[in-house]
A and B are shown apart, each in its own frame.
Chain A
Amino acid sequence: SQTIHQWPATLVQPVGSPLSLECTVEGTSNPNLYWYRQAAGRGLQLLFYSVGIGQISSEVPQNLSASRPQDRQFILSSKKLLLSDSGFYLCASSIRTEAFFGQGTRLTVV
């Protein structure tokens, strides 16, 4: 099975600061990779997904971007954080069927 490494677990950042969240995958090759955001008590909003290196699909126009520089590395970035970027960010990986999730990063923008 796949193991998803996602860090940090919690992050407090000031408004206007940059963001870089990294996710790496073990145990598979050429997975589909995903970034989701979850507001408190709500469902998962798909932000970005990637079916291969350098291939990024953006689902929601916003203040964030994603990159996949290597097969098993997926990075979520922002140049200037907004208060509305606060939330629980989850990285996931799948090979056509079930998805494996990291433990998430709780981002608080202050």
Chain B
Amino acid sequence: SQQGEEDPQALSIQEGENATMNCSYKTSINNLQWYRQNSGRGLVHLILIRSNEREKHSGRLRVTLDTSKKSSSLLITASRAADTASYFCATDANQGGKLIFGQGTELSVKP
């Protein structure tokens, strides 16, 4: 079953704009992670936020977590063409190591 669901499914913006992607999940979690995937490649970890954290920053990335709404958002500021990729959230749902991914958001940043 799917734990994480991202929206929008696809997002197209101009370089320099901010990109916001959202993720909703269903069960209680230990942490929530965001990953990036370039076309046809493996996923790369971007940032992890623990269930007792509300916001976290890493460079141009900002992640928020609202456990009461079971949702998270990933903000990429001042986007670049190189940010073009698919972005996935993943939850460690406190089920003995199970890591579940959402359907992803396909981001296109136009130069």
Contacts and interface: CB of A to CB of B under 8 A. Distances in A.
A61 to B, nearest CB: 13
B31 A97 contact: yes
Nearest to B44: A101
Interface residues of A, number: 28
B interface secondary structure, majority: strand
Contacts of A51: 96-97
B99 A99 contact: yes
Interface residues of B, number: 24
Contact of B99 (A4, A6, A88, A92): A92
Given A43-B101, A101-B43, 11 more contacts: A4-B42, A32-B97, A34-B99, A46-B101, A59-B98, A92-B42, A94-B97, A97-B33, A101-B42, A103-B41, A104-B41
